[in-house]
Chain A
């Protein structure tokens, strides 16, 4: 039942499993229990999912209260199709290790790039030193 035709509302998503992407890059999966006018979310049985390549790991987090302005997007998860994924689930330790290795590799590649640019007399400001928007 659409309470407000012509608008987008989270009311119908209550008590369903959602994937929420936050502004800091985290991915949370949980049951949406409550909302308010700012789209603050209460997530239940939340799991933080870390993806590295074809692997992913879930860290159970319990209950989350997310401030609305920090949400990039969210979407309902189809429970039947949830397990139907080519990705491979691994343990938490393993995924954290993989993540660390990935960050390392990225940093090194970045360093090389910056060095190469410097050699050619160019400099590009790093994304994290710019303002958030």
Chain B
């Protein structure tokens, strides 16, 4: 029993010591848990094996200094014993200390002479202590360090009132602890709810906070702290140089380096926490796909929106096929087997492109046109055209030319038709005269029930006008080849009509609404010269001329 009493005294002392040392008041911790937690807290700079010795001597000294009354001292000790007996005997194992170390403690309590085995337990802690000559044969190794630094567990960031700081320093110089009356501590209840949050949980929270703090360039994100820290280090270095004080390292915030995920997850789950944190930054906005129709359209019915989704879905599928084809080409046209596979893929994709929508009652070309109404669909066609055999490419080109006004209208939001121009102009060069005429005729013909020719709309759009010019230019190249063989044929007259009408339309259009073509073929003006009168040519020159000038310059 007596041994346990001694043990309890240790714990009480330790409790009081911790309370006093912190500089702020603590609710006194449970006696049992105090010892356990003290043994767990490495950061507390308290070696639990060590502290009781130190404490015992410290407190003795302090009590003598402060209370000066042995009667009070013994009264205090007795009350501790009283407390102790009410708590009963506790097994040493509960306290988290081995029986061996407990034994040491008991021994040192009774005989404050140093024990030979003590230094082994102490490890590296051998800073001098300020507890003075009063203590019988103090082994400096026994009386360790922490008290000196403990009350001033302040980081360089703690800003104390100058008076407060002065007082603290004085106390430090005296006997190391701020003077708070110990008597007040004892009557308070031990805190049996302490450490509900375990160290593991605290570390987890700190870890999460550190992850949130990490950044690629701290000098940018955390400018003020970095600057401050630099100034501080510089100041310390200067002081060290001047020999004013020995260098001690201020702690710096070091965030863990974690590879940032390339994949954007719209919902971030932090393990161990309840709930989700929805992540949405300026680099990764929440909307992932372009499935939201733009506001300029008329109200879509449910059927229309489902149709639109169906088109988007088709486009995605086709894009995957296209990527396969492109990869196939990357590897190189090595074996015939590969090229067969390649061409079959291309054929499949072409069929998919031409495929009908959900209702097979729709007109031909409709699937194709629907795909072209979406920006991504245009990109798809633009990338596919180089792979297509001539006939299929030509059919696509003619389909586009046929429905040019429709496409132009649909392109208002995206403005993406331009990307089709390059591949289409390559395709145009392979057109035969007949095919060319077919396309052009569609543009200049007056549709039934409509007072406007398609060409009018086309001329106002950049893509449209560029395509038109490209077609005309190609026709002009073909004509000498064609006409040299036969006499003026129906094709030839059609051609002339087309050219004249086109010239007339261009002349009609106010210069402002005439769109600027992406490329201006050099043989257009001569073409018009052949077919139309001088006055008209002059007008054309005026309109097209200024345009041409811009391009050439």
Q: Which residues of A contact B184 (CB under 8 A)?
A: 80
Q: CB distance A37 to B270 under 8 Å? A: yes
Q: Which residues of B contact A18 (CB under 8 A)?
A: none
Q: CB distance B25 to A78 under 8 Å? A: yes
Q: What's the least CB distance linking B275 to chain A, in Å?
A: 9
Q: Which residues of A contact B153 (CB under 8 A)?
A: 1
In Å, the complex CA distance between A37 and B204 comes to: 9
**Interface hits, B170-226 → A, CB 8 Å:** 180, 184, 191, 193-197, 201-202, 205-206, 208-210, 212-213, 225
Q: Which residues of B contact A78 (CB under 8 A)?
A: 24-25
Interface string of A1-32 (1 = CB under 8 A from B): 11111110101001111000000000000010
Task: Spot the interface stretch: B247-255, B310-318, B390-398, B505-513.
Answer: B247-255
Q: CB distance B205 to A37 under 8 Å? A: yes
Q: What's the least CB distance linking A10 to chain B, in Å?
A: 8
In Å, the complex CA distance between A9 and B213 comes to: 12
Q: CB distance B25 to A79 under 8 Å? A: yes
Q: Which of A5, A44, A80 contacts B251, CB < 8 Å?
A: A5
Specify the main secondary structure of chain B where it touches its partner.
Answer: loop
Q: CB distance A7 to B27 under 8 Å? A: no
Q: CB distance B205 to A11 under 8 Å? A: yes
The answer, yes or no, to whether A76 is at the interface (CB within 8 Å) is yes
Q: CB distance B252 to A33 under 8 Å? A: no
In Å, the complex CA distance between A102 and B14 comes to: 49
Q: CB distance A33 to B196 under 8 Å? A: yes
Q: Which residues of B contact A34 (CB under 8 A)?
A: 196-197, 201
The answer, yes or no, to whether B155 is at the interface (CB within 8 Å) is yes
The answer, yes or no, to whether B43 is at the interface (CB within 8 Å) is yes
Q: Which of A7, A14, A44 contacts B213, CB < 8 Å?
A: A7
Looking across the interface, which residue of chain A has its beta carbon closest to that of B275?
A38
The answer, yes or no, to whether B273 is at the interface (CB within 8 Å) is yes
Q: CB distance B25 to A1 under 8 Å? A: no
Q: CB distance B205 to A35 under 8 Å? A: yes
Looking across the interface, which residue of chain A has its beta carbon closest to that of B209?
A37
Interface string of A35-69 (1 = CB under 8 A from B): 11100001010000000000000000000000000
Q: Which of B180, B197, B225 contacts A14, CB < 8 Å?
A: B197
**Interface hits, B110-157 → A, CB 8 Å:** 153, 155-157
Q: Which of A1, A7, A37 contacts B208, CB < 8 Å?
A: A37
| A14-B197, A34-B201, A78-B25 known; A7 vs B253 contact (CB < 8 Å) | yes
Q: Which residues of B contact A7 (CB under 8 A)?
A: 209, 213, 253
**What is the size category of the interface that chain A forms with chain B?**
20 to 34
Q: CB distance A6 to B157 under 8 Å? A: yes
Q: What's the least CB distance linking A12 to chain B, in Å?
A: 10
Q: Which residues of B contact A33 (CB under 8 A)?
A: 193, 196-197
The answer, yes or no, to whether B414 is at the interface (CB within 8 Å) is no
In Å, the complex CA distance between A36 and B250 comes to: 27
In Å, the complex CA distance between A42 and B197 comes to: 10
Q: What's the least CB distance linking B440 to chain A, in Å?
A: 62
Looking across the interface, which residue of chain B has its beta carbon closest to that of A33?
B196
Q: CB distance B196 to A9 under 8 Å? A: no
In Å, the complex CA distance between A16 and B228 comes to: 30
Q: CB distance A1 to B43 under 8 Å? A: yes
Q: Which residues of B contact A1 (CB under 8 A)?
A: 43-44, 153
Interface size, chain B (Cβ < 8 Å): 36
Which of B24, B44, B210 has the most chain A CB within a 10 Å cutoff?
Answer: B24
Interface string of B495-516 (1 = CB under 8 A from A): 0000000000000000000000
Q: CB distance A80 to B180 under 8 Å? A: yes
Q: CB distance A11 to B193 under 8 Å? A: no
Q: CB distance B252 to A9 under 8 Å? A: no
Q: Which residues of A contact B196 (CB under 8 A)?
A: 15, 33-34, 42, 44
The answer, yes or no, to whether B406 is at the interface (CB within 8 Å) is no
The answer, yes or no, to whether B387 is at the interface (CB within 8 Å) is no
The answer, yes or no, to whether B229 is at the interface (CB within 8 Å) is yes
**Interface hits, B3-42 → A, CB 8 Å:** 24-27
In Å, the complex CA distance between A1 and B273 comes to: 25
In Å, the complex CA distance between A2 and B205 comes to: 14
**Interface hits, B251-281 → A, CB 8 Å:** 251-253, 270, 273
| A36-B273, A79-B27 known; A4 vs B195 contact (CB < 8 Å) | no
Q: Which residues of B contact A76 (CB under 8 A)?
A: 24
Looking across the interface, which residue of chain A has its beta carbon closest to that of B208?
A37
Q: Which residues of A contact B208 (CB under 8 A)?
A: 36-37
Q: What's the least CB distance linking A21 to chain B, in Å?
A: 20
Q: What's the least CB distance linking A8 to chain B, in Å?
A: 9
In Å, the complex CA distance between A14 and B205 comes to: 12
Q: CB distance A14 to B202 under 8 Å? A: yes
Looking across the interface, which residue of chain B has its beta carbon closest to that of A36?
B205
Looking across the interface, which residue of chain A has its beta carbon closest to that of B28?
A79
In Å, the complex CA distance between A34 and B201 comes to: 9
In Å, the complex CA distance between A42 and B156 comes to: 29
Q: CB distance A31 to B251 under 8 Å? A: no
In Å, the complex CA distance between A67 and B225 comes to: 28
Q: CB distance A15 to B195 under 8 Å? A: yes
Q: CB distance B251 to A9 under 8 Å? A: no
Q: Which residues of B contact A79 (CB under 8 A)?
A: 25-27
Q: Which of A5, A15, A17, A36 contacts B194, CB < 8 Å?
A: A15
Q: CB distance B253 to A4 under 8 Å? A: yes
Q: What's the least CB distance linking A98 to chain B, in Å?
A: 30
**Interface hits, B470-526 → A, CB 8 Å:** none
Q: Which residues of A contact B197 (CB under 8 A)?
A: 14-15, 33-35
In Å, the complex CA distance between A76 and B195 comes to: 17
In Å, the complex CA distance between A5 and B250 comes to: 9
Q: Which residues of B contact A42 (CB under 8 A)?
A: 196
Q: List 5 A-B contacts (CB under 8 A).
A: A6-B157, A6-B229, A15-B197, A44-B196, A79-B27
List 5 other contacts, CB 8 Å, given A4-B213, A34-B196: A3-B202, A5-B253, A7-B209, A15-B191, A33-B196
| Minimum-distance CB pairs A-B, first 9 | A5-B251, A1-B43, A79-B25, A6-B253, A37-B208, A34-B197, A2-B155, A80-B25, A33-B196
